[in-house]
A and B are shown apart, each in its own frame.
Chain A
Amino acid sequence: MMRVKKMYWIAAILLAPALFMMCRKPGLFQDSGFDPRLSGGEATVFDETSKAFGHQVTGLNERDEQVHELGDGAIGATFVRAPSTLNPGLGPIFSNVSCISCHHNDGKGSPTAGLVNSSLLIRLSLPGSDNFGGPRAVEGFGTQLQDLAVFGVQPEAKIEISYTEQAFSFPDGEMVNLRKPSYNLLNPYKPLPGNFQTSPRMAPPFFGLGLLQNIPEATLLSFADENDLDGDGISGRPNYVYDPVQRKMMLGRFGLKANVATLLTQVAGAYGQDMGVTNYVFPQESSLAQTQLDALHDDPELPDSILNAAVFYIKTLAVPARRNVLDPVATQGEKIFTQIQCAVCHKPTIQTGIDLTLKTISNQRIHPYTDLLLHDMGEGLADGRPDFQANEREWKTPALWGIGLFEKTNGIPFYLHDGRARTLEEAILWHGGEAENAKQAFIQLPSSERKALIKFLKSL
């Protein structure tokens, strides 16, 4: 009997720390216990080549692997004018012919418009909002300009992009050239109203989006500080958008202004608006009620299973691992990144929620460097076009993971929502509004520390 009691005591002593641990407030564990290269947690891939953004997460079962492969094929498929035995449904008006034409190598692309390899489109609207609080469509043009068309059909308009170069000088005399874009819409198929608003958007990368979709809403809302109660000059607020699938207002996560709630709606919208391929989410042609509309009654043009496979493909693309994590200069840059407040919006570490269907993206400690919230980025980056609750100066914090590989995946890397920045330095110098203090702190750094910060960013 004594012996049993003694065992109880020993068991109780052994269990006590565990009980204390269970009392520990939920939160992130210390960084020291984790491998900092694992940007996507288990959903990380070790590849530094141009194919780095195109790997599936590990741990998919055979069936899911097949769906992923099917989605991979769908993402690469070139659409052509219907009717066709293969990939019918392009246009009649469109921005590009396939997903990968804009999202080069599952990544970004070039800030040009109207060319076969262009990755930039223009969103349109009129002042005010629609019935769901979203952008108000321009009659005859909708909310996105299609600047290309199938043969014999007139596109809505052509986009002319021009840049004004302006020199910037650091206190130590180092010079950087910044270029500010301006956009003209040429040869509209019908007159545009005088008060239309535009917003240029360059295609963002595909990978890691399953992880971002899986971040609990409460986590994202905990980052928000809409009235800047902590007085750090940085607010951050969520966008709430109408989702046509779930038919309700939801937290926006995708799109450059967090203007779309789910991957399904994002991908379906891209098929419909970017390629003119109708689908079960958006069954109406982008040219509806326009002279370009074809007389084919073939909608939806995209098989449901293909749309679902494309969504699954994007959801299950792994994040490339960080490089040079032990490099002393990159490590110094990482500290500076935190010191000058970059990390307030570009959140280094977030825990994803539970997803019982996909273990690899479930409950992962990830390093996306985003809070998915809207921030006022100042007049320099303002597009002058609200998008649901995002005002004309606000943009969603873009994820920075993989940013150091853009040169490999895209040839020339272009940064920011419209690709105006050709280097990371330029991108930082365009920050304003809530990021003005961080930018000023960057400007005041000695050249060696600025370079250290850039080296850190290139390690992501």
Chain B
Amino acid sequence: MKRFSILFFSIAIILNLSCKKNDDSSSTDFEALKDRALIDFVNVVALPGYGELKTKAATLNSKVVALDANTTEANLLAAREAWKDLRITWERCEGFLFGPVEDDEYDPETDTWPVSFNDLDSLINSSNPLGVSDIEALSQRSLKGYHPMEYILWGKNGAQTAATINERQKQYLTSLSLHLKSQAEKLFDSWAPGAGNYAQHILNAGKGSTLYPKKQDAFISILEGLLAICEEVGEGKMLEPFDAHDPAIVESPFSGNSVTDFRNNIIGAFNAYEGKFNTDGVGISELVRARNISLDNELKQNFNAAINSFNNITVPYEKAIIEQRIQCRQTMDAINELSFTLESKLRPFIVQNIID
């Protein structure tokens, strides 16, 4: 018995020593991971994301210009596809809605919903000039950005064709696309070193940044971004028309693109968590994995469950809230579960493990 105790004691010491050694090296690794995650958030997530937005906004503009010059069904289709492609990137960038996109209001300037149909129709039917500066000067954001473009490209009931699109609509569409392109360029520049350089606030978190005196502040901002988009989708964009049983208040109804938008919002949040956009980097995920592998697994499972649940909604959302209510409810539940894990487990993890 005594020998057993000695043996047990010896094993305990060895285990303790080995744990200690591991702790030291993992602490060093963890420190390095924190820095890496912030660097990658800038260089792998935000800048590539906004860079892609800029490129795709320019593409949309070129497709709209082509449509204006030669109004064919093929060119209308190409412009619609470019719009949808740009939306993928924008909705994914909404996974990190903080910094200039919020401070300088790029989000409401380009993505205000609803469209003001009455004013839009009045504008088209008026003799008001429709140059890009005239569009920028409009006093309502509901007349600018993605959704008025969507309204013209698809028509109110999805009935727009190359034959029905008129000259004033094309002129307005062209200016809207230029405005969107200019906004995307400014948004990218606001982060880019050598221009607005918001990137430096993240890179200097805990090292002199006035916005992020601690590294923890930057990570909490990323977390708040994840929570905000989950709330916007799960408790706003999806829930409001669902509760009201009202297809008329679904966002992006003209293109029938709502479910894709919602899914891309959550993919954008997952990207921000994993520190990737189109290429992989180090994100909060690696930090969590280093200290609490089961939490990282749980979060990934939550993200995947939420993203995959959209596959069950097989019709446009304005129909789904009538025809597929169970599937809609299950998706919202999956998003809310993700939010709950982020709030109740990831936040404490960040607060406890990233104290500098």
Using a CB–CB cutoff of 8 Å, the interface residues on chain A facing chain B are 47-51, 69, 73, 76, 78, 80-87, 90, 97, 101, 104-105, 114, 116-117, 148-152, 155, 407-408, 410-412
Identify A86's interface contact among B123, B140, B143, B249, CB under 8 A: B249
Identify A151's interface contact among B119, B210, B220, B224, CB under 8 A: B119
Give the docked Cα–Cα distance between A80 and B221 (Å). 32
Is B108 an interface residue when CB atoms closer than 8 A count as contact?
Answer: yes
Q: For residue B114, which residues in chain A have a CB less than 8 angstroms away from its CB? A: 78, 80, 84-87
Q: How far is the CB of A101 from chain B (nearest CB, A)?
A: 7
Give chain A's interface secondary structure class: loop
Give the docked Cα–Cα distance between A104 and B211 (Å). 17
Q: How far is the CB of A289 from chain B (nearest CB, A)?
A: 23
8 Å CB contacts to A: which residues of B97-142?
98, 100, 102-105, 108-109, 112-119, 122-123, 126, 128, 138-142
Identify A83's interface contact among B103, B113, B118, B128, CB under 8 A: B118
Is A50's CB under 8 angstroms from B220's CB? no
Is B115's CB under 8 angstroms from A116's CB? no
Identify B119's interface contact among A69, A117, A150, A407, CB under 8 A: A150
Q: For residue B116, which residues in chain A have a CB less than 8 angstroms away from its CB? A: 80-81, 84, 90, 150-151
Q: For residue B103, which residues in chain A have a CB less than 8 angstroms away from its CB? A: 50, 410-412
Q: For residue A151, which residues in chain B have a CB less than 8 angstroms away from its CB? A: 116, 119, 122-123, 126, 128, 138, 140, 143
8 Å CB contacts to A: which residues of B138-155?
138-143
With A69-B235, A78-B113 as given contacts, are A149 and B139 in contact (CB-CB < 8 Å)? Answer: yes
Is B224's CB under 8 angstroms from A49's CB? yes
Give the docked Cα–Cα distance between A114 and B139 (Å). 7
With A78-B114, A84-B114 as given contacts, are A50 and B142 in contact (CB-CB < 8 Å)? Answer: no
Q: How far is the CB of A278 from chain B (nearest CB, A)?
A: 17
Q: How far is the CB of A21 from chain B (nearest CB, A)?
A: 37
Is A84's CB under 8 angstroms from B117's CB? yes
**Which residue of chain B has the shortest Cβ distance to A82 in the bound complex?**
B118
Using a CB–CB cutoff of 8 Å, the interface residues on chain B facing chain A are 98, 100, 102-105, 108-109, 112-119, 122-123, 126, 128, 138-143, 210-211, 217, 220-221, 224, 228, 235-236, 240, 246, 248-249
Is B224's CB under 8 angstroms from A51's CB? yes
Q: For residue B109, which residues in chain A have a CB less than 8 angstroms away from its CB? A: 116-117
Give the docked Cα–Cα distance between A295 and B116 (Å). 18
Q: For residue A47, which residues in chain B have a CB less than 8 angstroms away from its CB? A: 220, 224
Is A50's CB under 8 angstroms from B117's CB? no
With A90-B116, A410-B103, A411-B103 as given contacts, are A78 and B122 in contact (CB-CB < 8 Å)? Answer: no
Give the docked Cα–Cα distance between A80 and B112 (Å). 11
**Which residue of chain A has the shortest Cβ distance to B121 in the bound complex?**
A151
Identify A97's interface contact among B117, B141, B217, B236, CB under 8 A: B141
**Which residue of chain A has the shortest Cβ distance to B118 in the bound complex?**
A81
Give the docked Cα–Cα distance between A411 and B122 (Å). 35
Residue from B119, B210, B228, B249 with most neighbouring chain A CB atoms (10 Å): B119
Q: How far is the CB of B60 from chain A (nearest CB, A)?
A: 22
Is B142's CB under 8 angstroms from A148's CB? no
Is A116's CB under 8 angstroms from B108's CB? yes
Q: For residue B139, which residues in chain A have a CB less than 8 angstroms away from its CB? A: 114, 116, 148-149, 155
Give the docked Cα–Cα distance between A116 and B217 (Å). 30
Give the docked Cα–Cα distance between A87 and B119 (Å). 14
**Which residue of chain B has the shortest Cβ distance to A114 in the bound complex?**
B139
**Which residue of chain B has the shortest Cβ distance to A412 in the bound complex?**
B103
